[in-house]
Amino acid sequence: MSLLLKNISLPLAHFTLEVDVDVQKHVTAVFGPSGAGKTSLLDLIAGLRAAQSVFIQLDDRVLTDTAKGLFVPTHQRGIGYVPQDLALFPHLSVRRNLLYGHKSGGPENPLFSLEHVIEVLEIEPLISRGVTELSGGEKQRVALARALLASPRLLLLDEPLASLDAPLKAKIIPYLARVRDEFQIPMLCVTHDRFEALTLADEIIVLVDGKVMQTGPVSEVFTRPANAEVARLVAVETLQPGNVTNVNEGLATVSVNCATLTALAPPTPSREVFVCIRGEDVILQRDAATTSSVRNRLPARIVALRAEGALVRVELDAGFPLFALVTRPACAELALREGESITALIKAPAIHLVPR
């Protein structure tokens, strides 16, 4: 799929949304803090909002071109939209919500048949209920199913997990992943949660105050932020692929290259994970002998030191690239030098495992 967003200029309350990107990947996350213009961007793509200057092309079809005065009405765009508040129709049953956009009769793609969608999202038991009788997670699945049943060519998801608490999030993520894999619909997913972006997306567009700060593969953006603003947003200095080898009593053993780490097991069991460690969670220690509650003690070699304001970013080789952030006085006290050996301590809860 190819979604071309060009020359977008939309004045909002505090800034102007300016976007110029070419989205090629299957699942792309629009990532940014709240109020960055993410929802406005989705509204523009869906044709729910007009702007002075917009060019939007989905595959070979131009949807909006203000220069030529072209605007395909929303209902002819074939773009599914699951908004943050889900917008289930309160006066209709779950079944009638699902069938609202479903075209019955005619040559139908069996992938988007009612039976198949209901099966994938497991909503059979909900179908005759009223919308108001559903729980948050159930509503989420019904809204997703409703959008899918209209056989969209692109699916827009606005903060699909933001309104759910942690256990529910863990339940919904597999459904989103199933939708992604089962229906092969390109998805554009707005989020302000970096782990959500990491779990679902191939590519990420970082949006801050209406401006695109960086685009690229998720792991690249997270480990090599283009500027300080993006770095502050993503704030994950270490991001490495790893494999969960064992889960015992809520603790996971993860192998990363030749190192082995202990972390809290992720809510959704997955063998292949991204290991995320923030720089300030890595403690450096000279002598390795002392005992403490810290689960992970990694012998490491200092590769590079870089001053960043009051902090020093220490690049380590602990069997995998590991970054630590320490204060300047700490750096001086420990007399850190490139090439030296040191022990890196990381508490198990400070290691985030994100399914990949």
Minimal distance, residue 46 CB to another protein, in Å: 5
Distances (CA, A) of 175 to 73, 141, 170, 305, 306: 30, 8, 10, 43, 42
Q: Which of 20, 22, 59, 85 binds another protein (CB under 8 A)?
A: 85
Minimal distance, residue 77 CB to another protein, in Å: 7
- Structural contact between residues 283 and 344, judged by C-beta atoms closer than 8 angstroms: yes
Q: Does 101 bind another protein (CB under 8 A)?
A: yes
Distances (CA, A) of 238 to 87, 230, 242: 38, 15, 12
Minimal distance, residue 202 CB to another protein, in Å: 24
- Given strand 187-191, what is the order of strands in its sheet? 70-71, 61-65, 53-58, 3-11, 16-23, 211-217, 203-208, 27-31, 187-191, 154-158, 79-82
Contacts with another protein by CB under 8 A: the residue count is 24
Distances (CA, A) of 95 to 58, 117, 176, 344: 30, 12, 20, 55
- Helices (DSSP H) in 151-305: which residue ranges? 166-183, 194-200, 218-223, 228-234
Minimal distance, residue 258 CB to another protein, in Å: 50
Residue 80 CB partners (closer than 8 Å, separation 6+): 147, 148, 150, 152, 154, 155, 156, 185
Q: Does 183 bind another protein (CB under 8 A)?
A: no
Q: Which of 103, 232, 271, 286 binds another protein (CB under 8 A)?
A: 103
The site string for another protein over 140-179 (x = CB under 8 A, - otherwise) reads ------xx--x-----------------------------
What tokens does 8 get?
A: 């977008």
Q: Does 180 bind another protein (CB under 8 A)?
A: no
Q: Does 8 bind another protein (CB under 8 A)?
A: no
What tokens does 276 get?
A: 């995320």
Identify which of residues 80 and 266 has a Cβ nearer to another protein in the complex: 80
Q: Which of 81, 175, 195, 274 binds another protein (CB under 8 A)?
A: 81
Within residues 107-146, the interface with another protein by CB under 8 A covers 146
CA gap 56, 50 in Å, rounded: 12
The site string for another protein over 38-77 (x = CB under 8 A, - otherwise) reads -----x--x-x------------------------xxxxx
Q: Which of 19, 79, 188, 344 binds another protein (CB under 8 A)?
A: 79
Q: Which residues bind another protein (CB under 8 A)?
A: 43, 46, 48, 73-81, 83, 85, 87, 89-91, 100-101, 103, 146-147, 150
